Amino acid sequence: MKNFEGSGKNRQLFLFAAFLLASVTATANNKPSVLIATNIEQFFSPKGLIVTKEYYPVAESARQMLETQKKAGGVNRFEHLSQLTRTSMQPVVRMNRDAYYSKAVIDVSAGASITLPEVPKGRYFSMQPVTLDHRPQAMSYGAGTYELATHRGEHMIVIIRLDSNFSPKEVKRLQQKIIINANSNKKFSSSAVQKESFYQVENQLKANILKLMKQEGPVQLSTTLFSSPTDETRSYYQPDKNQTAAAIGWGGALAKDNIYETSPNYPANGCYQMTFEDPKNRDFWSITVYNKQGFMFDDKASTNSYKAKPNTNGTYTISLGCSKDSPNRIPIVNESGIFSITVRHYGPSERVIKKGYRLVPLLKSMK
C-alpha cells in the first residue's frame, strides 16, 4: 500500500478500475428483471419477453402447460376430458374427435412416472410426453408404469389418448385409474411474453409450412416434421421444422406413432371425394375437416376407420360436401368459406411409413 500511495499513476489506474467495476455492478443491478408468469392469466403481458421464432416452441409449450395446470387444479394432476373434443372447446389448431384426451403437467425434477391401467385388447390407449421446447417423445401403449425424463427444464406435459370407441362412462372409469408418481410437486411457471409478438410469430410460422413442403415434399416432411432428442428421430431435428410444427400442430407425434397428411385449402362448396385402399395401420386412420383458420367447425366433420363403411371391394369412399346420400359424407360448409382436411394414421403401416402411401393426393373435385 505504501508503494501504491507513493505512485500517482498507479493511484489513477486503481481509481479508474474501481469506477469501471462500480459501473458494471450498477448496470447489472439495474438490469430489468424477467416477468414470471405463475398462472395463465399472467402469461401475456406488455412487460413480457418479445417472442422470436427461435423462442416460439418454448412460449407455446409454456402457454399449454400453464393452461393445463389451471384446468387440472395444479401440478401432477390430470385434466380429464371424458367427452370428445367439441367445436366450442379447441385449445389448439387441428384438434380432432378421434380420441378422448387427458393432459397433465408433471414435475420430473426428482423423478416421476405414470401408471396406465389395462384396456380391452385392440383398443387404442397411448401416453405421450412433450418437453418444454416441444420435442415430443415416443408414445407408450397399454398397461404399465412408464418413467418420465426431460432434457430441458423440470416439467413435462403428458398427453393420454383413448380411442373414440370407448363410451364416456368407460373413459371416466379408465381415466380415474391413471396414476402419476412424482417425487416433487413444484408448480410450473414461465417467463411472461408479449401477446402481439407471440401471435405475429405464430402466423409467420404457420405460413412457413408451404416452404417446407416445397423443399422436402409432403411425404418426406410428414415423416420428419416432429423429432425427439431421445431416439433415432433426433437426426430429423431442424430448428425451423420444430418451430413450424409447434405453430401448426402443437403436441403432434413422431412418425412411428402418427403420420399426418394435410391438404391445401379448397372452396367450401360443391362436392369432393376420395376413394382409397385401406392403409392397414396398426391402430386406425381418420379424416377431419377444418376451416380456413385450422379449427373444426362441426362436431360431425370427421370420420375414421371405426365408423366409415367400406365399399364392396374393401376400398373406402369419403365424400366431402356432396349430397346427403353420398358415401361417408362429411360437411364442409363453414363461415370462412374455405376447408382443408387432415388425415391421421395412428400406428402407421409400413406401406404408409416406408412406401409413402398417402390419401390426400386422392382427393378430387366432383364437378
Q: What is the CATH number of domain 40-190?
A: 2.60.40
What pLDDT, on the 0 to 100 scale, is given for residue 128? Answer: 98
pLDDT of residue 94: 86
d(CA 92, CA 61): 11
**What is the pTM for the complete model shown?**
0.84
Q: Which residues contact 131 (CB under 8 A, 6 or more apart)?
A: 61, 137, 150, 151, 152, 153, 156, 229
Q: Taking the chain (367 residues) in consecutive chunks of 10 residues, what is each chunk's mean pLDDT?
A: 47 49 45 84 97 98 98 97 86 86 97 97 95 97 97 97 94 97 98 98 94 90 92 94 94 94 93 98 96 90 94 97 95 96 96 95 92
pLDDT for the residue numbered 240: 95
Predicted local distance difference test score (pLDDT) of residue 11: 53
DSSP annotation string for 155-221: EEEEEEEEETTS-HHHHHHHHTT-EEEES--PPP-EE-E-HHHHHHHHHHHHHHHHHHHHHH-HHHH
φ and ψ of 105, to 5 deg: -95, 125
**C-alpha cell, 285:** 386412420
Domain boundaries, the chain: 1-31, 40-190, 260-365
Name the 3-class secondary structure at 112.
Answer: strand
The pLDDT, as a whole number, for residue 8 is 55
The pLDDT value given to residue 34:
84
Per-residue model confidence (pLDDT) at position 87:
85
CA 260 vs. chain centroid, Å, equals 12
Interatomic CA distance for residues 134 and 141, integer angstroms: 21
For domain 260-365, give the fold: Jelly Rolls (2.60.120)
For the stretch 258-291, pLDDT in tens is 999 989 999 999 999 999 999 999 999 999 999 9
